[in-house]
Structure 1
Amino acid sequence: MTEDLLWPRYAGPGDLSAIEAVPLADRGLPESTYALLARAARLWPERTAISVLPNATRWRELADRTFAGLLADVHRYANLLWQLGVRRGDAVALMSPNCAGLVPATLAAQLAGIAAPLNGSLSGDHLTELLRLSGARVLITAGPELAPDVWERAQALAGELDAILVLRPTGAADAPDPLPAIEGVRVGYLDDLAAESDSDAFAGEPPVSSDLAALFHTGGTTGAPKLAAHTHANEVADAWMIALNSLLDDDSVVFAALPLFHVNALVVTLLAPLFKGQPTVWAGPLGYRDLALYGHFWKIVEHYRIAAMSAVPTVYAVLAQCPVDADITSLRFAMVGASPLPAAVREGFQSHTGVQLVEGYGLTEATCASARSFPGTPRPDALGQRMPYQRMKVVDPDTGEELPPGRTGVLAISGPTVFPGYVIARDDSGHVLNGRGKLAGGWLNTGDLARLDTDGFVSLAGRAKDLIIRGGHNIEPAVIEDALLAHPAVTAACAVGSPDPHAGEVPVAYVTLAPGVTAAEEELLAWAADRVPERAAAPKAVTVLDALPVTDIGKPYKLPLRANATSRVISEALAGFDGVDVDVVIEDGDVVVSVTVPSEVDESAVKDVLGRYAISCRFRS
């Protein structure tokens, strides 16, 4: 009976009310991510769970694990962590590109303690701070064969650690080189150290739903990264909401290529397939960042009969340019999220492939996914409908008052996927969590500007902090970006605020163009002015770039563009002062102007000029 309750129909927006007629507590969800894996191994022991590519060019050479084999690996790794002293409240850091060993290692960290995935490209200071906040004394990391740069960073962190467990490349067969000894730190290859550990059961107590499962860093592109805590209940509930998708069968193959330090990779392409025993094909260590992948991508889809994939808009923009040289009729569910989907990317991909993009919305603080769209019920103006058992409302950014449907305000979410808080410290009882102003009465302030309709469909209007405020008038960047993306030459667009002495800030835009195409700034300015809904939103400048800045997973990263716009304006404003040096930097999510004034220049006059702008400024000696 419980299994029947696990799978209500969820094929269209009209199914939501029927699903929620049954309380979530009655659905019989597994207690933890470990219980979810154990269930899959019991139901489909010999079915292939994961297949991992060594790299994009060797896409026919797979390392396979059945569900029973994956569970055995998780037991071995978790028992090694137990032997190393890891207990329920202890974090285990993981810093590696995707490989065959990282998948079970991540699940093992959640079984023995708490997984704390790290982006190995973060600065050394950020990584040290994240280790300090997490309290992790064990690091599972890429070794010198797999990712030499990550291995160097791992060794630099040794002073914070008791053990470094090393992962080898997928399919590595030759004997590895000996690892260097590090005083006071146990160093060894993970598989070697875990070889004698019990693969049949875990030596410790398994986690319960309220235990912490993971600590995901977020905000690293806007200052010091924060650690968002997830409980096992958070992750299992969100994975189930994704797995509910009635459009995919039990044998539908999922393609995974986002890094496992990102929640999408964990929840969408690792945990959700466990619910139905769906096999997952994992790309090589570079994932979607491997340019070679795109030359083979459609062949991979055909060969493995890929039915579903998840990626960010920038990936689909590239795939729309790749000739379809294979039978891709198996691909039925192409999910897109992490940042708003430009209409030009949607139309380009769908017309090129015949595959409809399924948009979604989510954020780390709500575990992963909170809204989804439906291929059979397209709503181009909306990201999707809220997912079951998640509540959404739009509130006035100043008063916090709930706004009626159709009004734009700040989106708030409540329900089983909302995180318990950020890690701010550790004490004798474990991690100390705090909502840092994002949590109030069970509601998560997402910081996203949005509109809701009466059916629970959400449309984003931009980040609240990305609003361009011109003379007290709020301008949504999306209206400028949409206008520019309608130009046939424009492939991507970002609008930001540029400092202005009269209006506070004015809109400017940055775009990329299709290969081999040119468009003058004057043409783009005129195009946008004719299409934005109000004169105040017409950009004052449009700059063409080779590429727009993005985060490691492909999200648009607007801070460097704001910094560039600020640098241009302030440098021009101070051009009359000989020898004055202007440096614009990004600090803790804000743009800061740093100015050096030589002794022969009147500093007060420089300050008078800068005082006309609403900017953060400091003077260097």
Structure 2
Amino acid sequence: MTGASLWPRYAEPADLAAIEAVPLAERNLPESTYTLLGRAAARWPDRPATTVLPAAARWREPVRRTFAELLADVHRYANLLRELGIRRGDAVALMAPNCADLVPATLAAQLAGISVPLNGALSRDHLAELLRLSGARVLITAGPELAPEIWDTAKGFAPQLDALLVLRPTGAAGEPAVLPAIDSVRVGYLADLAADHDASDFDGEPPAASDLAALFHTGGTTGAPKLAAHTHANEVADAWMIAANSLLDVGSVIFAALPLFHVNALVVTMLAPLFKGQHAVWAGPLGYREPALYGQFWKIVAEHRIAAMSAVPTVYSVLAQCPVDADISSLRHAMVGASPLPAAVREGFQARTGVTLVEGYGLTEATCASARSFPDDPRPGTVGQRLPYQRMKVVHPDTGDELPRGETGVLAISGPTVFPGYVVGRDGDGYVLDGLGKLRGGWLDTGDLARLDADGFVSLAGRVKDLIIRGGHNIDPAMIEDTLLDHPEVTAAGAVGRPDEHSGEVPVAYVTLTPGATATEADLLAWAAGRVPERAAAPKAVTVLDALPVTDVGKPYKLALRADAARRAIAEALAPFDGVTVDGVIEDGTVVAIVTLASEVDETKVTSTLSRYTVPLRLTYEGHP
């Protein structure tokens, strides 16, 4: 496969047809993520592959690996895993914040077996369920120096494990902390245990394209956790689609700061750079969540000549407020996704930096990325054009019939990046996978409301499950959010349904404002009432927050808003009663209103009032659990 065939021109929307004129099978993509790494190490052995910062305050003390060094460490770690009994169908769980050794550890897990990256901030019950589903007997985890809370959690899972392999902080010096001895569990530092293993080759059979590479959890903060399976072919194909971007050439430097338990970090900033020998500069263990990073950010861009970065809108909102105190002329590709991009953030970032934000769209069940935008051909209101070889259609939410271009329905995707299913069990042949209603005839139901234009550009219109149903009438929350985002002082907006005794639920909104904003909640309510496209969608209340709730990877967390809306609605209904307190909590992905009564409150009257609401309720009493 020639370089010209592997890398077609891909700089503008019109290039898509020419790219797809060559079948993907003829592009001779690497067989696996291991083959992809080996290809990079063979072509650019001495070029830097990863540079990892210990922390924002120590950004001038990074740990660097060349491509050859990265491959050598992957071999060592994979051969250690093989010694511990890991074979092709076995899971290796990884639970740690980003650090220098987590990158090779992740690739080694995919080489020896199947990687299962875990978010250590999830509840213990969720983590226990994910470990049970995966069947992992080896856990690579943060040690007491790197993340004490994660280490404490990891030790609690020791009885169900064969080995705990421990990671130290990036650039750690001196003697490490002494690790406890745990009966029947091999406990030790990963780098030390792997030091004497073969660095030149892998002792086992390398993975094939159809083999599972990873199991990524999804739904961990919004409902029962699920493990979505990715094959090596899924990950390699999606990484190639991202790397094919003609705006980033061989040797470009990519900034990485999202956690490696998220698909964006794995595919966009770890695998895609391997295709063109690009250098990935990784932030410290807190990534974009480290406040000190923002004060040093432009200096880091200048020092490493960062060409591209990927983040969520909240990150760019903060960066738009940071004075540019260094030469950032190298930065030309700033990608944004995971949640809607407010116009104020787009304009503020571009005014500050001169760099156009490039929107994208993707989901774990389609590996990672499925659409991208083009800085020289902006399409406001869209999240980009479908990526090569991925197919998209919009279907009716009830019938499943395909809708004409321009009409809004449920977005469906097919192609080489669509996952094979969720893990629902194991049998003698390995994991049992099931689409659980997401896969229908090879098409993935994304659950996103969207419309497509003639060029394959996607405009999102919210989540099907986020629809506000007012008296049987479906209201798209994006309609309200877009109206509020048009206000010059609004930087983010989220609309949800609030329980209502007459209509079931009514729309309410939450917003954040620019620093020094003067708009009041009453002003914003009047703004929305006068501009929202349909009368029924006019919000009944607008609440200003310091920040909208998000997940650990920056996606909007609307369940938290719905819980607050439920709390406010029930509290308002029970205001006539003294001695009543209300809380809104999330249990298994459902909002529940917890009503606590003092002993003198008439329970019958309270129950009668609450019967007018459909939100799940639970009564408790002062002094009782």
TM range (shorter): over 0.9
Matched AA of 2:277: G
Query: Unaligned stretches of 5+ in structure 2?
Result: none
Q: Structure 2: how far apart are the matches of 1:462 and 1:539?
A: 16
SS in structure 2 opposite 1:173? Answer: coil
How far off is 1:594 after superposition?
3.6
Shift of 1:611: 3.0
Q: Hey, what does 2:258 align to over in structure 1?
A: 258
TM-superposed CA distance for 1:330, in Å, is 0.4
Per the alignment, in what secondary structure is the counterpart of residue 480 of structure 2?
A: helix
What is the Cα deviation at residue 472 of structure 1? Answer: 2.1
- Conserved? CA contact 1:92–1:109, under 8 Å: yes
Deviation at 1:224, TM superposition (A): 2.2
Partners of 2:134 and 2:620 lie apart in 1 by 35
Task: Please report how far the alpha carbon of residue 620 of structure 1 lies from its aligned counterpart in structure 2 after TM superposition.
Answer: 5.0
Contact (CA 8 Å) 1:510, 1:542: kept in 2 or not?
A: yes
Q: Distance in 2 between matches of 1:170 and 1:602?
A: 60
Find the counterpart in structure 2 of residue 322 from structure 1.
322
Tell me the distance in 1 between the aligned counterparts of 2:581 and 2:544.
26
1:377-396 aligned at under 5 Å gives the runs: 377-396=377-396
Amino acid of the residue matched to residue 555 of structure 2?
K
Matches within 5 A, 1:379-418: 379-418=379-418
> Which residue number corresponds to residue 65 of structure 1?
65
- Per-residue deviation, 1:579: 4.4
- Alpha-carbon offset, residue 441 of structure 1: 0.5
515-524 vs 305-314, which deviates more?
515-524
CA contact (8 A) 1:360 1:372 kept: yes
Aligned residue in 2 for 1:187: 187
Per the TM alignment, residue 513 of structure 1 is displaced from its structure 2 partner at its CA by 2.1
Q: Counterpart in 2 of 1:370?
A: 370
Cα displacement (A) at 1:538? 1.3
CA distance in 2, matches of 1:573, 1:52: 53
Q: Deviations over 1:189-214 (max 9, x none)?
A: 00100011000110110000110000
Residues 239, 267 of structure 2: 8 Å contact kept: yes
Q: CA deviation at 1:219?
A: 0.7
Q: How far apart are the structure 1 equivalents of 2:452 and 2:604? A: 50
Aligned to 1:514: 514
CA distance in 2: counterparts of 1:272 and 1:362, whole angstroms: 15
Measure the CA separation in 1 of the matches of 2:529 and 2:519. Answer: 15
Aligned partners of 1:494, 1:68: CA distance in 2, in Å?
46
Residues 122, 221 of structure 2: 8 Å contact kept: no
- With the length of structure 2 as denominator, give the TM-score of the two structures: 0.97
- Number of the residue aligned with 2:153: 153
Partner AA of 1:219 in structure 2: G
Alignment partners' CA distance in 2, 1:601 and 1:299: 61
Give the Cα separation in 1 of the matches to 2:229 and 2:484.
38
Matches within 5 A, 1:564-603: 564-595=564-595, 603=603
- Counterpart contact for 1:91–1:113, Cα < 8 Å: yes
Using the alignment, how far apart are the partners of 2:160 and 2:519 within structure 1? 52
- TM-score, normalised by the number of residues in structure 1: 0.98
Given that 2:255 and 2:306 are in contact with CA atoms closer than 8 Å, whether structure 1 keeps it comes out as yes
What corresponds to 1:162 in structure 2?
162
**Partner residue of 1:44?**
44
Cα deviations by residue, 1:415-457 (Å, 9 ceiling, x for unpaired): 1000011111122221111111111101111010101011110
Deviation string 1:521-575 (CA, Å, 9 cap, x unpaired) is 2111111112211222111111111221111111111111111111111122123
- Deviation of 1:596 (Å): 5.2
Could you say which residue in structure 2 is the equivalent of 1:499?
499
Q: Name the structure 1 match of 2:490.
A: 490
Following the alignment from structure 1 to structure 2, what is the Cα–Cα distance between the partners of residues 513 and 65?
42
Identity of aligned residues (%): 77
User: What residue number does 2:228 align with?
Assistant: 228
Counterparts of 1:407 and 1:510 in 2: how far apart (Å)?
28
> For the aligned residues, what is the CA RMSD?
1.5
| Aligned mates of 1:63, 1:550 — CA distance in 2 | 31
Code of the aligned partner of 1:507: P
Alignment of 1:44-443 (within 5 A): 44-443=44-443
1:461 CA drift (Å): 0.4
How far apart are residue 497 of structure 1 and its match? 0.8
SS for the counterpart of 2:57 is: coil
Measured after TM superposition, the shift of residue 354 of structure 1 is 0.4
Letter matched to residue 360 of structure 1: G
C-alpha deviation, 1:577, in angstroms: 4.1
- Residue 452 of structure 1 is matched in structure 2 by 452
- Give the distance between the partners of 1:482 and 1:338, measured in 2 at CA: 16
Q: How has the CA–CA distance of structure 1 residues 250 and 121 changed in structure 2, closer, same or farther, with 3 Å as cutoff?
A: same
Deviation at 1:473, TM superposition (A): 2.1
- Give the aligned length: 621
Query: Does structure 2 retain, via aligned residues, the 8 Å contact 1:491–1:513?
Result: yes
Q: Deviations over 1:212-248 (max 9, x none)?
A: 0001111112122211110000000000000000011
2:373 partner letter? S
SS state at 2:58 partner:
coil
Whole-angstrom CA distance in 1 between matches of 2:234 and 2:122: 26
Deviation, structure 1 residue 490: 2.1
- Whole-angstrom CA distance in 2 between matches of 1:58 and 1:261: 24
Query: Separation in 1 of the partners of 2:617 and 2:81?
Result: 48
Structure 1 range deviating more: 611-620 or 250-259: 611-620
SS of 1:222's equivalent in the other structure is: coil
User: Comparing 155-164 with 114-123, which one deviates more in the overlay?
Assistant: 155-164
